[in-house]
Amino acid sequence: MQPLKTTEPSPFLLNTEHLCLVAIETDDFHSNGLWAAGSPTAYRLTGSENLPVSNTVFIKAMSGGAAHQNPVWDSSRKVPAEHLDYGYIEKCKDVKYLEKILRVLRSGEEGVYSHLTEFCESHLEKLQPKSRALRKETSAATAASFSKDEWSQILQELQTWEEDTKRTDMLLKQDLFDDLVKSKMPPVRGSRCLVSPSQSLFPEARKNPSKRAVPRGYREWDKFDVEKECDNIDGDVLKKDPPAILDTQHPKLKQEADVSSLLSQRQKLLLANREKDKGNEAFRAKDFKEAVTYYSRSLSILPTVGAYNNRAQAEINLSRWHDAMRDCQQVLELDPDNKKALLRRATVHNHMGNVQLASEDLRGVLRQDPYNIAATQLLSKIEEKMSECQLEQEQRSKKIFIEEVEEENSCSMKELQTACPAQPSQPVGGEERFAAPAERRDMGNTQKKPHSRGDGGPHTESSNSHHHGHWKSKGNSPDKYKVPQESKEKVANGSDKRGSTASVPGDQNNSSKGTAGGGKFEESANLDAPCGALPPQLSRLKNEGNLLFKNGQFADALDKYSQAIQGYTDSGLDSPQDLCVLYSNRAACFLKDGNSQDCIQDCTRALELQPFSLKPLLRRAMAYESLEQYRKAYVDYKTVLQIDSSVQAAHDSVNRITRMLIEQDGPEWRQKLPEIPLVPLSAQQHRREEPPSAEVLQARVEKAAREAERRADVLFPALKQEGNDFVKKGQYRDAFGKYTECLKLKPEECSIYTNRALCLLKLERFGEAKQDCDAALRLEPANKKAFYRRALANKGLQDFLACSSDLQEVLQLDPSVQEAQKELEEVTVLLRQSLADGSKEHRRTVLIREVDGDEDTTAVQSNCTGAVSINQKPTSAYDFGQSLNAARCSGNTEACAELLASTSPEQLPRYLSTQLDGHTLSFIMQALDSHLLEKNPNLVYQHLHHLHTADRFTVVQLLQDMDTHHHMTQLFEHLSAVESAEFTKNDVQNLANKYI
């Protein structure tokens, strides 16, 4: 039947057909981004629009004949038949015209050419993939559009949902909280001014009819004066009723969702998820603030891991590091292995400057999911950063290093990496660590906040690329920038004797007050506070300047400081400290005003008066940076870091400038730097003491540990530096002493061990040197310097065999080390001699012979089958490789099995790495299968579990032959038949997938 034949047809239907015509005519009208401007008067009748359109049609017909002469085709013209041609279409670049051609082709007016149509479509797609002409009508998908699995999955999902939702439906009906919810509802609109919504509406309403919604026209609504109406109503009923109900101020979205606690768990979950979804959507729209609000609402209804996690991410995007940290921690409390939370915490750590903790978290992620791309990327970035910091910290010392010592920059960075996995990152342990930052923040000004580096300095852009203006508006204080270390800066300016905050050079905005609106500080009462040796009128000027500075009136502050300086010179005082402070403060004003030149001048003056004072240096550095004199800025920042290595802003800037300079000057940028002045120890500052918190004992203990660590951080490079100096001067005994002290501070520092080993070698204490090398190698198994020095020590101890194996190791790590090459040759000769002497070195007969032949000596072995003695306790990759080769050449799978049994699975990939080839792999498989599997299936599994991580494994795997494949399949079959507590069939299956 005809659906439109209802008694009252829908209003839409009447006009539809009529207007469809219009739609087709105006088809080419694209109005993307057009303002839907205007008022109803701007409305035109569709009929009048039709007229010009038909006019063009008429003109088109008229000019049709002249079409041939015109090479450029107006897209409004009719398409001539010649253009329906492969050649023409291919050359045509006019998307609109192509669309037109396609329309003609599809219509079949000129005949049906399916290939040409396809060709035209594909050509158009190349030019404009989003063209509307390419949209094809498709019918609904059916089971045939999906693979069998997909289809059954879709149906299965629906089925499960159906069952679940029916259960929920039933349960919902049993919930009986409705009345309670109702009682919390807001009153009926228009009845707001009543005392209580529970009171009867009607008597009041009759008295006061305007209160009830009186029908109004929209013109009337326009003129509706809310305040007046309210007053009318209020005046009648309740004078005291606050007009706040209809205030004009835009009310904010509530942070907490107002949910009755009586709501059932089910409903809560439902609501919480809905709020979370809203948060997600806001997040996708990049409205992170709103997202955080919605996540908070969701959490206030029902705390879930997902919402915490998402809020953390949103907070990260807003650069609210501490909040993000708290959320990550919440997640990890609920779910200690949550990858996302770990990853996000790592990001937060990274931004807060705790690279160590960040890399620890990332390792945690990678332990669960070794292929996590985000984690891998971030980790490598962090490592880069760490190495960069390291490089720069040692940059100064590099110049005076002797060559051997110099190389170790690279190892100290590696040491950090290797040290990390050594400390298991337990979530519980992590929490304790977090407690500290959060707490310290509360304590205010003693803790520097890397994230509040503020809007004044030029250095926020690069590191936090996703700042979104939000927090800028929040950072109301003009100069959060140098919140760090107030007390310390007092020292720097020699003004530590003065207690009042007002006397602190102007730009200190105590972070404890940092959140307070702007500038209503109590200091105004303190204007006359005495300042050092300044006469009262000058101190007053200075304090006024400070106050003005804090209030952001930099120009006025500048005046005051200038007056003070003038007054100072006039009075002929002799107090360089105070003058320095004045210059420094004026420099800050200049900096704020963007007058970098004058800022530099003032800073230089201040520094002449008081060399190595921190703030003028920092300001000058910033000024240089803003003038793009990066080299000078770099030098200043480095000097700042020498004075106090904890100035985060300086660290960041140094990193950034390094990048700039590398870009600018290439890899030799360091040579173009002016000299960085050495800061005398007396000027170097240790981190200030933190006031002990009376509350948490644990926190205090922790802080003490941190303190010690920090002190070590400062002391350590100095000691090392001195040690290196001594080495350079040839005073090895003194250097040894220094290095030993270093190790007391940081027993984990690999480079110190190698350096000390060098001293010991020079002192001919070979035994100790060897011990140090061993220690270094324990920390960093691939340290070639340690190998090399151990080789020397071994040589000194007359153990040529060990010496040569160490040298081989060095050469394996880096074939270009010529000293090692030379040394090896020498040792080989010595070794031969010692053999020839008949001094029996029975322990490793095979090895010795192999060293003789150097490379592929195993061929020698092949004829003496069976009776090969194989070193079953490999200590190095070299040993292992030799033994393995020996076993393989003799086809002795048993020996290989024994060898594998005595090798720890973790070491296997490293031992194998360079030697792995198809035959070796096949041989190992056989050995595992035939001998080891029966005795110790767990070990086999462990070996297999680690073997595939070997360097060349993937390559070998690609090139493996049938035989190897066969052996592998067999091995895994056997392995999966074994029952074990240590691994399941699934594990074996997963592993097998990696191999086969």
Partner 1 sequence: MTFPQVIAHIQKSLNYTVFDSKWIPCSAKFICLGNYPRGTGVIQIYELQHGEAQLIKEVEKPKPLKCGTFGATSLQQRHLATGDFDGNLNIWNLESPEVPVYTAKAHKEIVNSIDGVGGLGIGDGAPEIVTGSRDGTVKVWDPRQKDLPVANMEPVEGETKRDCWTVAFGHAFNDEDRCVCAGYDNGDIKLFDLRNMSLRWETNIKNGVCCVEFDRKDIDMNKLVATSLEGKFHVFDMRTQHPVKGFASVSEKAHKSTIWQVRHLPQNRDIFMTAGGAGNLHLWKYEYPAKRSKQDSDGMDVGVAGSVSLLQNATLSSQPISSLDWSPDKQGLCVCSGFDQSVRVLIVTKLNLV
H-type helices in 285-408, by residue range? 288-301, 305-317, 321-334, 339-352, 355-368, 373-398, 403-406
Q: Taking the alpha carbons of 31, 34, 36, 41 in that order, is the dihedral positive or negative?
A: negative
Beta carbons within 10 angstroms of residue 469's beta carbon: 7
Q: Quote the tokens at residue 492.
A: 């720097």
Q: Quote the tokens at residue 123.
A: 């050509």
Contact at 8 Å (CB) between 482 and 550?
no
Which of positions 290-309 make contact with partner 1 (CB under 8 A)? 290
Cα dihedral angle (937, 942, 948, 951), rounded to 10 degrees?
-130
Which of these segments, 130-138, 499-507, 647-655, 839-847, binds partner 1 (CB under 8 A)?
130-138
CA distance 430 to 702: 12
Binds partner 1 (CB under 8 A): choice among 51, 200, 258, 261: 258
Q: Taking the alpha carbons of 291, 294, 300, 301 in that order, is the dihedral positive or negative?
A: negative
Q: Tell me how far, at minimum, the Cβ of 305 lies from partner 1, in Å.
A: 18
Matching residue, tokens 């450029």: 72
Q: What are phi and psi of 409, to 5 degrees?
A: -55, -45
Instruction: State CA 821 to chain mean position distance.
Output: 43
Closest CA to 923 of 968, 856, 872: 968
Q: Looking at beta carbons only, is 145 or 954 nearer to partner 1?
A: 145
Which of these segments, 128-136, 373-381, 640-648, 887-895, binds partner 1 (CB under 8 A)?
128-136
* Helices 800-813 and 877-889: angle between axes, nearest 10 degrees: 100
Cα dihedral angle (793, 799, 800, 803), rounded to 10 degrees?
-40
The yes or no reply on residue 175 touching partner 1 (CB under 8 A) is yes
Q: Tell me how far, at minimum, the Cβ of 146 lies from partner 1, in Å.
A: 7
Binds partner 1 (CB under 8 A): choice among 61, 224, 524, 814: 224
CA distance 725 to 348: 38
CA distance 345 to 797: 50
Q: Tell me how far, at minimum, the Cβ of 122 lies from partner 1, in Å.
A: 19
Closest CA to 353 of 16, 157, 34, 645: 645
Q: Looking at beta carbons only, is 282 or 649 nearer to partner 1?
A: 282
Binds partner 1 (CB under 8 A): choice among 57, 61, 285, 555: 285
The yes or no reply on residue 180 touching partner 1 (CB under 8 A) is no
Which of positions 12-71 make contact with partner 1 (CB under 8 A)? 12, 15-16, 19-20, 22-24, 26-27, 29-40, 42-44, 46
Q: Tell me how far, at minimum, the Cβ of 130 lies from partner 1, in Å.
A: 7
Q: Looking at beta carbons only, is 152 or 798 nearer to partner 1?
A: 152
Binds partner 1 (CB under 8 A): choice among 66, 140, 422, 867: 140
The yes or no reply on residue 3 touching partner 1 (CB under 8 A) is yes
Q: Tell me how far, at minimum, the Cβ of 184 lies from partner 1, in Å.
A: 11
CA distance 876 to 911: 7
Which of positions 565-624 make contact with partner 1 (CB under 8 A)? none
The yes or no reply on residue 744 touching partner 1 (CB under 8 A) is no
Q: Tell me how far, at minimum, the Cβ of 229 lies from partner 1, in Å.
A: 8
The yes or no reply on residue 141 touching partner 1 (CB under 8 A) is yes
Q: Looking at beta carbons only, is 179 or 675 nearer to partner 1?
A: 179
Q: Tell me how far, at minimum, the Cβ of 107 lies from partner 1, in Å.
A: 13
The yes or no reply on residue 256 touching partner 1 (CB under 8 A) is no
Q: What are phi and psi of 918, to 5 degrees?
A: -55, -45
Q: Tell me how far, at minimum, the Cβ of 269 lies from partner 1, in Å.
A: 11
Q: Looking at beta carbons only, is 270 or 830 nearer to partner 1?
A: 270
Q: Looking at beta carbons only, is 78 or 286 nearer to partner 1?
A: 286
Q: Looking at beta carbons only, is 50 or 551 nearer to partner 1?
A: 50
CA distance 949 to 371: 13
The yes or no reply on residue 286 touching partner 1 (CB under 8 A) is yes
The yes or no reply on residue 129 touching partner 1 (CB under 8 A) is no
Instruction: State CA 116 to chain mean position distance.
Output: 51
The yes or no reply on residue 255 touching partner 1 (CB under 8 A) is no
Q: Tell me how far, at minimum, the Cβ of 471 lies from partner 1, in Å.
A: 17
CA distance 834 to 857: 20
Which of positions 142-171 make contact with partner 1 (CB under 8 A)? 142, 145-146, 154-155, 158-159, 161-162, 165-166, 168-169
CA distance 494 to 492: 5
Closest CA to 992 of 945, 952, 932: 945
Matching residue, tokens 């003005």: 548
CA distance 960 to 132: 51
Q: Tell me how far, at minimum, the Cβ of 61 lies from partner 1, in Å.
A: 24
Which of these segments, 57-65, 275-283, 343-351, 912-920, binds partner 1 (CB under 8 A)?
275-283
The yes or no reply on residue 130 touching partner 1 (CB under 8 A) is yes
Which of these segments, 281-289, 681-689, 871-879, 918-926, binds partner 1 (CB under 8 A)?
281-289
Q: Tell me how far, at minimum, the Cβ of 332 lies from partner 1, in Å.
A: 26
Binds partner 1 (CB under 8 A): choice among 58, 68, 137, 986: 137
The yes or no reply on residue 253 touching partner 1 (CB under 8 A) is yes
**Residues touching partner 1, count (CB under 8 A):** 104
Binding mask 228-247 for partner 1 (x = CB under 8 A): -----------------xx-
Q: Looking at beta carbons only, is 165 or 989 nearer to partner 1?
A: 165
* Cα 806 to Cα 400, 622, 771, 781, distances in angstroms: 29, 50, 14, 12
Phi-psi category of 891—alpha, beta or left, where left has phi over 0 and alpha has psi -120 to 50? left
Q: Looking at beta carbons only, is 106 or 919 nearer to partner 1?
A: 106
Binds partner 1 (CB under 8 A): choice among 127, 213, 701, 859: 213
Q: Tell me how far, at minimum, the Cβ of 27 lies from partner 1, in Å.
A: 7
Contact at 8 Å (CB) between 863 and 792?
no
CA distance 969 to 971: 5
The yes or no reply on residue 188 touching partner 1 (CB under 8 A) is yes
Q: Tell me how far, at minimum, the Cβ of 150 lies from partner 1, in Å.
A: 8
CA distance 880 to 874: 5
Binds partner 1 (CB under 8 A): choice among 111, 203, 217, 424: 217
The yes or no reply on residue 864 touching partner 1 (CB under 8 A) is no
CA distance 618 to 458: 12
Q: Tell me how far, at minimum, the Cβ of 318 lies from partner 1, in Å.
A: 16
Q: Looking at beta carbons only, is 38 or 65 nearer to partner 1?
A: 38
CA distance 549 to 506: 6
The yes or no reply on residue 697 touching partner 1 (CB under 8 A) is no
Q: Quote the tokens at residue 111.
A: 């005949």
One-letter identity of residue 429: G
CA distance 726 to 738: 9
Which of positions 385-404 make contact with partner 1 (CB under 8 A)? none
The yes or no reply on residue 206 touching partner 1 (CB under 8 A) is no
Q: Tell me how far, at minimum, the Cβ of 456 lies from partner 1, in Å.
A: 23
Q: Tell me how far, at minimum, the Cβ of 106 lies from partner 1, in Å.
A: 13
- DSSP run (H or E) holding 417: helix 409-422
Q: Taking the alpha carbons of 58, 59, 60, 61 in that order, is the dihedral positive or negative?
A: positive
Q: Tell me how far, at minimum, the Cβ of 196 lies from partner 1, in Å.
A: 14
Q: Looking at beta carbons only, is 86 or 224 nearer to partner 1?
A: 224
